[in-house]
Chain A
Amino acid sequence: MNLEIILFIVFGGIAAVSSVLMITRSNPVISALFLVLNFASLAGLYLLLHAQFIAVAQVIVYAGAIMVLFLFVIMLLKPEHDKLFSTYPQIKKFAVVIGVLIFIQLVYMIFITKPSSAENPSLQASIKAGTIEQIGLELYSNYILPFEAAGYLLLVATIGALVLAKKKFE
């Protein structure tokens, strides 16, 4: 048991448990706070995978900006405690059965194909791939067009959100 495995168990356990707690709480605010915990532990996992830039972006963009937006909307609208699940009770049973079946199928597929046998991970290459220098180099050379498209997407989303949420003047 070295430190890497212990950290993986801690962060992975927090991520798994908080994701389950997120979909079972009746209060949406508690649910959103569990999702923040899940994102924070995912940032820890990214650091464990030597992805420094993505870990920082995860904390700033997801756990910071997006979740603040969610909490803001939850608190702006009336929180509903009344109905936790659907009015059709068989949907819940159906969803759990389907979820367990697909999870078993995915785990079977992961362990039957054994992706770890095909690659030989090198620590140096992994650390180099996670630096912001390497990501920026890719972003501004080979992926400059998707980068521009992402900028336009954010502009369109801003305008769309304003148009959708603004008060209608009759």
Chain B
Amino acid sequence: MNIPIEYYLVLSAFMFIVGVTGVLTRRNAIIVFMSIELMLNSANLTLVAFSSYLGNSVGQLFVFFVMTVAAAEAAVGLAIIIAIFRNKLTMNIDEINILKW
């Protein structure tokens, strides 16, 4: 417990911002998904840091639920990417614009 909790929070904020930048700049749908996973993980780091510093295990319980949701999201999202790739033969999200008008 020699490290102030601010260091963990700054690291987590940095990883979150990197994830946001990845979602905004990259055009490959799978990389966008991986950036979202990075953002979820930075939130997990914050939860675990506060849980550990407060001596309360509920924060780590929520990390467990976030992992469950991330697993479900990855399975469904990758299935959607496969379905889109089968129809349009692309993973570039600039070209997947059938919901735009």
User: In the complex where A103-B14, A126-B55, A143-B61 touch, is A45 in contact with B8 (Cβ < 8 A)?
Assistant: yes
Main SS class of interface, B: helix
B28 touches A70 (CB 8 A): no
- Looking at chain A, what size class is its interface with the partner chain? 35 or more
A129 touches B60 (CB 8 A): yes
Q: Add 17 more A-B contacts to A23-B31, A110-B13 (CB < 8 A).
A: A4-B3, A16-B14, A23-B25, A23-B35, A31-B31, A32-B34, A51-B51, A51-B60, A54-B64, A61-B67, A86-B25, A86-B94, A103-B17, A126-B53, A143-B61, A164-B80, A165-B82
Partner-A contacts on B (CB < 8 A): 1-11, 13-22, 24-28, 30-31, 33-35, 37-38, 41, 44-45, 48-58, 60-61, 63-65, 67-76, 78-83, 85, 89, 91-92, 94
Partner-B contacts on A (CB < 8 A): 2, 4-5, 8, 12, 15-16, 19-20, 22-23, 28, 31-32, 35, 38-39, 42, 45-46, 49-51, 53-54, 57-58, 61-62, 65-66, 69-70, 73-74, 76-78, 80, 83-87, 91-92, 94-96, 98-100, 102-103, 106-107, 110-111, 114-116, 119, 121-126, 128-130, 134-135, 138-139, 143, 146, 150, 153-154, 156-158, 160-162, 164-165
